[in-house]
Amino acid sequence: MLFEKYKETLEKATDALYNRTFYAAWAEHPKAYAEDGQAKAMEWFNSLIGGEYNELLQTNPAGFHGNEVSPYTQELLNIKYPAFGVSELVANAQAALPDWRHATPEIRAAVLIEALHRIEKRFFDIAIATMHTTGQAYMMSFQASGPHANDRALESIVLGYEQTKSFPHIAEWEKPMGKINVKIKKTWKSVGKGIGMVIGCSTFPVWNTVPGVFATLITGNPVIVKPHPGAILPIAIVVAELQKVMIENRFLPEVVQLAVDTADEPITKHLAEHHDIKIIDYTGNSHFGDYVESLQGKGKIVFTEKAGVNSVIIDSCTDLNAMMQNLAFSVCLYSGQMCTAPQNFFIPEGGIMVNGENVPFEAVVNSFTAAVDALTNNPKMAAGVLGAIQNINTCQRAEDAKELGGTVLLESRLIANEEFPNARTASPTVLLLEADQVDIYTKELFGPIVLLIKTKDTQHSVSIARNLAATQGAISCGAYCTSEHMKGHIASNMEDAFTPVAFNLTGPIWMNQNAAFSDFHVTGGNPAGNASFTDLAYVVKRFAWVGHKEMVYE
């Protein structure tokens, strides 16, 4: 039985989930997998350019779409994917719904974990596809879209499996009524609420998409995956592998479908507003995210991750260089194109304490810019850390940032990439601002843009950061502080704005990162999004308990 094959995996993952300890079902380094995996993936990818993607088990397409551009070559990939109309996608999902809904939680969990192991065999393909659609560097592409995404998917499976079994499915109810007892046999079933839709983003097309896909599937619902037109290939591979496993286990492949469109002829709103779409997951900008959230008024169950303004509060530290190297890496990692990337750095005008000695404000600022400059000028590190820019508008935003106001400390510039000479790259623009320049720093400036903001003191820094998170949203917050009292003050204030804080990070752990089974990604408590990867609300809203009862006669 397939479930027995993966029972141990479920048990280990469940233990990690409820204890919030480290657990990784898949090794994160490419060396743990096939030695020739990257080379074969490149051959596969090159053979696909200019052709049709034919792995999907969806038949009779209305046409073929595909306009992805590689941020590394800035050339059109010209890979064409089968396209389907909204009505056909929904009808196919409706046809696949009954068998999948009526499958037991054990069967659904086993099938989905089997699919994750098939996806594992495509990690290198997915990595190359992610590189050439998002601009992530190779290592990030492999880890984020491969093992880390699989772990996040498994997390959704585990939580959904646990919750769909959290109440008994059968019980005998007996009520004493004087001389007689009334007996009733009661049964309950967790019933999926209907067809789900997952709207992907252009920067993390797998990591941000699979939690919603697998949470919808494990709770008994079919799902339609609507990727961003600029990043289709990575998630297309995932969908294809899911469809293959569905067929092998006697389910219709349309339990999972890929719905492609183009920027000129989008179908997202048409699909989202269809009356048979019951569940919507969304990752992307706040403007469209607000629209998606408005669909809750039309009876949709909506889970969003939007944009936020992430802060770093600098009060004191024990090692200035270690702090600045960590922060420089954080702002340079994938050129600031992560939803968790820090943007606003709040520094007291009187400087900070380092091992009991005051370091003046100017010295703190200079230390940060020197660390960023050193990293972006390091030929062995820069290209692999910054990657490439997914959207040309992000490059322009970084270039235009020097006109925002304040003092320009570092201007954005092209970063050479020896492997890809035409790569679309940009180092961070770093600006120095006064605290009263609120019109500049109170909005998200997506991409490689960093704002260093002079405040009266740490209390002032905390107040601004908290208000920003509460009004504009925040997904992450960093803080450096050696005082236990001040750490408590920072934590308490950011909790009020439903924002997690990463304290005193140095070395190879950065505030950008969130770990499956341990970190809740987005809290759902501020304007950055209404959902969290992965809490109970993320799965239990996708199904309902339905009970039946029958009188038992002696």
What pLDDT, in 10s, does the model give residues 259-288?
Answer: 999 999 999 999 999 999 999 999 999 999
Q: Which residue's structure tokens are 């469940």?
A: 14
Q: Which two tokens stand for residue 514?
A: 């969130």
- How far apart are alpha carbons 341 and 332 in whole angstroms? 9
Cis peptide bond prior to 534, omega within 30° of 0: yes
pLDDT at position 538 is 98
Who contacts 301 (Cβ-Cβ below 8 Å, separation ≥6)? 193, 278, 279, 280, 541, 542
Class at the top of the CATH hierarchy for domain 311-503: alpha beta
Cis peptide bond prior to 219, omega within 30° of 0: no
Q: Which two tokens stand for residue 119?
A: 């996806």
- In this prediction, residue 421 has a pLDDT band, given cuts at 50, 70 and 90, of very high
DSSP result, 167-210: S-SEEEEEEEETTEEEEEEEEEEEEE-SEEEEE--SS-TTTTTH
Task: Name the nearest CA neighbour of 96 among 209, 221, 260.
Answer: 221
Q: Which residue's structure tokens are 């998200």?
A: 444
Q: Determine the average pLDDT of the residues in 231-242.
A: 98
Q: Determine the average pLDDT of the residues in 416-443.
A: 97
Is residue 321 within 8 Å of 366, Cβ to Cβ? no
- How far apart are alpha carbons 98 and 515 in whole angstroms? 34
Q: Determine the average pLDDT of the residues in 456-464.
A: 98
Q: Would you list the domain boundaries of the chain?
A: 2-307+531-548, 311-503
Amino acid identity for residue 524 in this structure: G
pLDDT at position 303 is 98
Task: Calculate the average pLDDT of the chain.
Answer: 97
Sign of CA dihedral 471, 315, 479, 410: positive
Torsion of CA 455, 460, 462, 463, to 10 degrees: -120
Is the predicted pLDDT of residue 554 greater than 80, yes or no?
no
Q: Determine the average pLDDT of the residues in 39-68.
A: 96
pLDDT at position 83 is 97
Q: Determine the average pLDDT of the residues in 523-541.
A: 97
Is the predicted pLDDT of residue 456 greater than 80, yes or no?
yes
- In this prediction, residue 191 has a pLDDT band, given cuts at 50, 70 and 90, of very high
Task: Tell how strand 502-503 and strand 277-283 pair up.
Answer: unpaired
State the Rg of the chain over Cα. Answer: 25
pLDDT at position 397 is 95
Is residue 13 within 8 Å of 155, Cβ to Cβ? yes
Q: Which residue's structure tokens are 């062995």?
A: 380
pLDDT at position 326 is 98
State the angle between helix axes of 147-163 and 210-218 in degrees (0 to 180), rounded to the nearest 10: 30
pLDDT in tens, 69-83: 999 999 999 999 999
- How far apart are alpha carbons 192 and 195 in whole angstroms? 8
- How far apart are alpha carbons 269 and 251 in whole angstroms? 28
pLDDT at position 1 is 80
Q: What is the DSSP letter of 105?
A: H
278: number of Cβ within 10 Å: 18
pLDDT in tens, 90-99: 999 999 999 9
Torsion of CA 105, 108, 113, 118, to 10 degrees: 170
Is the predicted pLDDT of residue 65 greater than 90, yes or no?
yes
Which stretches of 49-170 are DSSP H helices? 86-102, 105-120, 123-134, 138-145, 147-163
pLDDT at position 267 is 97
3-state secondary structure at position 497: coil
Class at the top of the CATH hierarchy for domain 2-307+531-548: alpha beta
pLDDT at position 81 is 98
Q: What is the DSSP letter of 235?
A: H
- How far apart are alpha carbons 320 and 434 in whole angstroms? 22
Cα 379 → chain centroid: 29
Amino acid identity for residue 450 in this structure: V
Is residue 83 within 8 Å of 63, Cβ to Cβ? yes
Task: Name the nearest CA neighbour of 133 among 370, 362, 389.
Answer: 389
DSSP result, 410-442: E-------SS-TT----PPEEEEEETT-HHHHT
Task: Name the nearest CA neighbour of 332 among 442, 451, 450, 185.
Answer: 450
